[in-house]
Protein backbone atom coordinates (compact mmCIF):
# COMPACT_ATOMS: atom_id res chain seq x y z
CA UNK A 1 0.00 0.00 0.00
CA UNK A 2 2.85 2.35 0.84
CA UNK A 3 4.55 1.60 -2.47
CA UNK A 4 1.36 2.18 -4.39
CA UNK A 5 0.82 5.49 -2.61
CA UNK A 6 4.37 6.59 -3.45
CA UNK A 7 3.88 5.82 -7.12
CA UNK A 8 0.63 7.79 -7.05
CA UNK A 9 2.38 10.86 -5.64
CA UNK A 10 5.15 10.62 -8.22
CA UNK A 11 2.60 10.35 -11.03
CA UNK A 12 0.64 13.32 -9.66
CA UNK A 13 3.83 15.42 -9.45
CA UNK A 14 4.74 14.47 -13.03
CA UNK A 15 1.33 15.59 -14.26
CA UNK A 16 1.67 18.89 -12.39
CA UNK A 17 4.99 19.51 -14.11
CA UNK A 18 3.45 18.69 -17.50
CA UNK A 19 0.53 21.05 -16.84
CA UNK A 20 2.89 23.82 -15.72
CA UNK A 21 5.03 23.34 -18.83
CA UNK A 22 1.94 23.31 -21.05
CA UNK A 23 0.62 26.51 -19.46
CA UNK A 24 4.01 28.19 -19.86
CA UNK A 25 4.22 27.19 -23.52
CA UNK A 26 0.63 28.28 -24.12
CA UNK A 27 1.31 31.67 -22.54
CA UNK A 28 4.47 32.10 -24.62
CA UNK A 29 2.58 31.12 -27.77
CA UNK A 30 -0.13 33.69 -26.99
CA UNK A 31 2.52 36.38 -26.45
CA UNK A 32 4.23 35.52 -29.74
CA UNK A 33 0.87 35.44 -31.55
CA UNK A 34 0.03 38.88 -30.15
CA UNK A 35 3.37 40.22 -31.36
CA UNK A 36 2.77 38.81 -34.83
CA UNK A 37 -0.74 40.24 -34.84
CA UNK A 38 0.55 43.68 -33.75
CA UNK A 39 3.29 43.51 -36.40
CA UNK A 40 0.83 42.61 -39.15
CA UNK A 41 -1.55 45.34 -38.00
CA UNK A 42 1.25 47.89 -38.07
CA UNK A 43 2.16 46.82 -41.63
CA UNK A 44 -1.38 47.62 -42.74
CA UNK A 45 -1.78 50.86 -40.76
CA UNK A 46 -0.93 53.63 -43.23
CA UNK A 47 -1.64 56.33 -40.62
CA UNK A 48 1.82 55.50 -39.25
CA UNK A 49 3.23 57.10 -42.42
CA UNK A 50 1.88 60.48 -41.32
CA UNK A 51 4.60 62.94 -40.36
CA UNK A 52 5.04 64.02 -36.77
CA UNK A 53 7.40 66.72 -35.53
CA UNK A 54 10.06 65.39 -33.15
CA UNK A 55 12.22 67.37 -30.76
CA UNK A 56 15.84 66.27 -31.11
CA UNK A 57 18.86 67.04 -28.94
CA UNK A 58 16.63 68.11 -26.09
CA UNK A 59 14.58 70.37 -28.36
CA UNK A 60 17.52 72.22 -29.92
CA UNK A 61 16.59 70.72 -33.31
CA UNK A 62 13.19 69.88 -34.73
CA UNK A 63 12.50 67.45 -37.54
CA UNK A 64 9.30 65.83 -38.83
CA UNK A 65 9.17 62.24 -40.09
CA UNK A 66 6.70 59.30 -40.04
CA UNK A 67 5.17 58.18 -36.75
CA UNK A 68 6.35 54.64 -37.36
CA UNK A 69 9.90 55.59 -36.32
CA UNK A 70 10.66 55.07 -32.63
CA UNK A 71 13.38 56.64 -30.51
CA UNK A 72 16.15 54.05 -30.15
CA UNK A 73 17.58 55.78 -27.07
CA UNK A 74 14.64 54.41 -25.06
CA UNK A 75 16.01 50.89 -25.33
CA UNK A 76 19.69 51.37 -26.16
CA UNK A 77 22.34 53.88 -25.01
CA UNK A 78 22.98 56.53 -27.68
CA UNK A 79 25.78 59.12 -27.61
CA UNK A 80 24.77 62.68 -26.73
CA UNK A 81 25.80 64.00 -30.16
CA UNK A 82 23.74 61.35 -31.99
CA UNK A 83 20.07 60.68 -32.67
CA UNK A 84 18.82 57.23 -33.72
CA UNK A 85 15.28 56.33 -34.80
CA UNK A 86 14.12 52.94 -36.11
CA UNK A 87 11.06 51.42 -37.71
CA UNK A 88 10.88 47.69 -37.01
CA UNK A 89 8.00 47.23 -39.44
CA UNK A 90 9.92 48.35 -42.54
CA UNK A 91 13.46 47.82 -41.13
CA UNK A 92 14.26 51.47 -41.92
CA UNK A 93 16.32 53.81 -39.73
CA UNK A 94 17.26 57.47 -39.37
CA UNK A 95 20.55 58.61 -37.81
CA UNK A 96 21.82 62.12 -37.12
CA UNK A 97 25.44 62.71 -36.12
CA UNK A 98 27.43 65.83 -35.27
CA UNK A 99 31.10 66.03 -36.30
CA UNK A 100 33.83 68.65 -35.94
CA UNK A 101 33.79 70.92 -38.98
CA UNK A 102 36.61 70.17 -41.44
CA UNK A 103 37.37 73.50 -43.19
CA UNK A 104 40.08 72.01 -45.43
CA UNK A 105 37.63 69.48 -46.82
CA UNK A 106 36.07 71.14 -49.91
CA UNK A 107 32.32 71.65 -49.69
CA UNK A 108 31.64 69.84 -52.95
CA UNK A 109 33.57 66.77 -51.74
CA UNK A 110 32.23 66.64 -48.19
CA UNK A 111 29.13 64.57 -48.98
CA UNK A 112 31.30 61.98 -50.78
CA UNK A 113 33.60 61.82 -47.77
CA UNK A 114 30.74 61.22 -45.32
CA UNK A 115 29.04 58.69 -47.60
CA UNK A 116 32.34 56.84 -47.72
CA UNK A 117 32.56 56.92 -43.93
CA UNK A 118 29.06 55.43 -43.62
CA UNK A 119 30.02 52.60 -46.00
CA UNK A 120 33.17 51.89 -43.99
CA UNK A 121 31.47 52.05 -40.60
CA UNK A 122 28.81 49.49 -41.59
CA UNK A 123 31.37 47.37 -43.45
CA UNK A 124 29.41 47.49 -46.70
CA UNK A 125 30.27 44.74 -49.17
CA UNK A 126 29.67 47.24 -51.97
CA UNK A 127 28.60 50.86 -52.29
CA UNK A 128 27.71 53.03 -55.26
CA UNK A 129 26.67 56.67 -55.24
CA UNK A 130 23.79 57.05 -57.70
CA UNK A 131 22.90 60.71 -57.12
CA UNK A 132 24.61 63.85 -55.80
CA UNK A 133 23.26 67.34 -55.37
CA UNK A 134 23.40 70.69 -53.60
CA UNK A 135 20.47 71.83 -51.43
CA UNK A 136 19.24 75.40 -51.78
CA UNK A 137 16.95 77.70 -49.82
CA UNK A 138 13.81 76.03 -51.16
CA UNK A 139 15.05 72.59 -50.07
CA UNK A 140 15.91 73.67 -46.51
CA UNK A 141 13.79 76.79 -45.91
CA UNK A 142 14.24 76.94 -42.12
CA UNK A 143 18.04 76.76 -41.99
CA UNK A 144 20.62 79.55 -42.53
CA UNK A 145 22.22 79.63 -45.97
CA UNK A 146 25.49 80.78 -47.53
CA UNK A 147 24.62 84.47 -47.77
CA UNK A 148 24.50 84.96 -44.02
CA UNK A 149 26.36 82.07 -42.37
CA UNK A 150 28.53 80.61 -45.17
CA UNK A 151 26.72 77.31 -44.73
CA UNK A 152 26.78 74.61 -47.40
CA UNK A 153 24.28 71.79 -47.80
CA UNK A 154 24.55 68.74 -50.06
CA UNK A 155 23.01 65.29 -50.37
CA UNK A 156 23.79 61.87 -51.79
CA UNK A 157 21.85 58.73 -52.62
CA UNK A 158 23.77 55.47 -52.54
CA UNK A 159 23.16 51.77 -53.01
CA UNK A 160 24.91 49.57 -50.44
CA UNK A 161 25.06 45.87 -49.69
CA UNK A 162 25.29 45.35 -45.93
CA UNK A 163 25.61 42.22 -43.80
CA UNK A 164 24.41 42.72 -40.27
CA UNK A 165 23.55 41.01 -36.99
CA UNK A 166 22.58 37.35 -37.23
CA UNK A 167 23.51 37.26 -40.89
CA UNK A 168 27.22 37.58 -40.16
CA UNK A 169 29.25 34.46 -40.99
CA UNK A 170 32.79 33.69 -42.11
CA UNK A 171 31.51 32.64 -45.52
CA UNK A 172 33.38 34.73 -48.14
CA UNK A 173 30.35 34.36 -50.43
CA UNK A 174 27.97 35.76 -47.81
CA UNK A 175 25.43 38.14 -49.34
CA UNK A 176 23.99 41.12 -47.52
CA UNK A 177 20.85 43.23 -47.53
CA UNK A 178 20.47 45.74 -50.35
CA UNK A 179 19.94 49.17 -48.85
CA UNK A 180 19.13 52.52 -50.39
CA UNK A 181 21.04 55.08 -48.30
CA UNK A 182 20.11 58.77 -48.32
CA UNK A 183 22.51 61.28 -46.75
CA UNK A 184 22.52 65.03 -46.21
CA UNK A 185 25.58 66.94 -45.01
CA UNK A 186 24.82 70.24 -43.26
CA UNK A 187 28.02 72.29 -42.97
CA UNK A 188 27.80 74.94 -40.26
CA UNK A 189 31.23 76.60 -40.02
CA UNK A 190 29.87 79.34 -37.73
CA UNK A 191 29.47 76.69 -34.99
CA UNK A 192 32.39 74.50 -36.19
CA UNK A 193 30.06 71.60 -36.97
CA UNK A 194 29.23 69.20 -39.80
CA UNK A 195 25.83 67.59 -39.24
CA UNK A 196 25.15 64.36 -41.13
CA UNK A 197 21.67 62.83 -41.44
CA UNK A 198 21.39 59.29 -42.82
CA UNK A 199 18.17 57.56 -43.84
CA UNK A 200 18.57 53.80 -44.47
CA UNK A 201 15.88 52.05 -46.50
CA UNK A 202 16.45 48.31 -47.15
CA UNK A 203 14.61 46.93 -50.18
CA UNK A 204 15.98 43.39 -50.49
CA UNK A 205 16.95 41.07 -47.62
CA UNK A 206 19.47 38.22 -47.87
CA UNK A 207 17.88 36.64 -44.81
CA UNK A 208 14.43 37.95 -43.95
CA UNK A 209 14.16 37.67 -40.15
CA UNK A 210 10.51 38.72 -40.38
CA UNK A 211 8.10 39.76 -43.18
CA UNK A 212 9.11 43.43 -43.30
CA UNK A 213 6.88 45.92 -45.03
CA UNK A 214 8.40 46.78 -48.40
CA UNK A 215 8.11 50.49 -49.26
CA UNK A 216 8.61 51.60 -52.90
CA UNK A 217 11.99 53.20 -53.49
CA UNK A 218 10.53 56.34 -55.09
CA UNK A 219 8.36 56.81 -52.00
CA UNK A 220 11.46 56.55 -49.79
CA UNK A 221 13.15 59.23 -51.86
CA UNK A 222 10.17 61.55 -51.51
CA UNK A 223 10.05 60.92 -47.77
CA UNK A 224 13.73 61.85 -47.44
CA UNK A 225 13.31 65.23 -49.12
CA UNK A 226 10.04 65.96 -47.33
CA UNK A 227 11.74 65.15 -44.03
CA UNK A 228 14.84 67.32 -44.39
CA UNK A 229 12.67 70.22 -45.62
CA UNK A 230 11.16 70.42 -42.10
CA UNK A 231 14.46 70.69 -40.24
CA UNK A 232 14.88 73.70 -37.94
CA UNK A 233 17.49 74.68 -35.36
CA UNK A 234 15.84 76.17 -32.28
CA UNK A 235 18.94 76.63 -30.14
CA UNK A 236 22.44 77.08 -31.57
CA UNK A 237 23.94 77.35 -28.07
CA UNK A 238 24.07 73.54 -27.88
CA UNK A 239 27.25 73.76 -29.94
CA UNK A 240 30.20 74.31 -27.62
CA UNK A 241 32.51 76.99 -28.99
CA UNK A 242 36.12 76.25 -27.93
CA UNK A 243 38.70 79.01 -27.55
CA UNK A 244 40.77 80.08 -30.55
CA UNK A 245 43.86 78.01 -29.66
CA UNK A 246 41.91 74.84 -29.05
CA UNK A 247 39.91 75.43 -32.20
CA UNK A 248 43.01 75.78 -34.34
CA UNK A 249 44.61 72.62 -32.93
CA UNK A 250 41.42 70.59 -33.29
CA UNK A 251 40.88 71.84 -36.82
CA UNK A 252 44.40 70.94 -37.94
CA UNK A 253 44.04 67.46 -36.47
CA UNK A 254 40.63 66.95 -38.11
CA UNK A 255 41.89 68.15 -41.47
CA UNK A 256 44.83 65.76 -41.33
CA UNK A 257 42.44 62.88 -40.70
CA UNK A 258 40.02 63.99 -43.39
CA UNK A 259 42.11 64.63 -46.46
CA UNK A 260 40.10 65.05 -49.63
CA UNK A 261 38.59 61.61 -50.40
CA UNK A 262 39.45 59.65 -53.49
CA UNK A 263 36.80 58.85 -56.08
CA UNK A 264 34.13 56.73 -54.43
CA UNK A 265 34.68 53.07 -55.16
CA UNK A 266 31.93 50.83 -56.45
CA UNK A 267 33.32 48.06 -54.27
CA UNK A 268 34.09 49.36 -50.79
CA UNK A 269 36.13 47.05 -48.63
CA UNK A 270 34.88 46.48 -45.10
CA UNK A 271 36.82 48.23 -42.42
CA UNK A 272 36.84 50.89 -39.77
CA UNK A 273 35.57 54.38 -40.30
Three-state SS for 143-180 is: CCCHHHHCCEEEEEEEEEEECCHHHCCCCCCCCCEEEE
For residue 255, pLDDT beyond 80: no
Residue 201: the pLDDT is 97
Which pLDDT tens digit goes with each residue over 49-58?
999 999 999 9
What is the Cα–Cα distance from 105 to 117, expressed in whole angstroms?
14
Nearest to 228 by CA among 200, 202, 187, 198: 198
Average predicted confidence (pLDDT) for the chain: 80
Mean pLDDT of all residues in 171-182 = 84
Which pLDDT tens digit goes with each residue over 75-127?
888 998 999 999 988 999 999 999 999 999 999 999 999 999 999 999 999 99
DSSP 8-class letter at 207:
S
Amino acid sequence: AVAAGGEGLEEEEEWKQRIDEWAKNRKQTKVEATKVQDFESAKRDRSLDDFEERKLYGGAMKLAFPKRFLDMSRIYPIRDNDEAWVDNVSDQSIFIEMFNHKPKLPDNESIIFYTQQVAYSCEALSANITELGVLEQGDLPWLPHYDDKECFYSYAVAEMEIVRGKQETEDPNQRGNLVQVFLVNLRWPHVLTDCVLTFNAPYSWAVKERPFREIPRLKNRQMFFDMIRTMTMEDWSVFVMPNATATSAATDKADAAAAAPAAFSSSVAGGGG
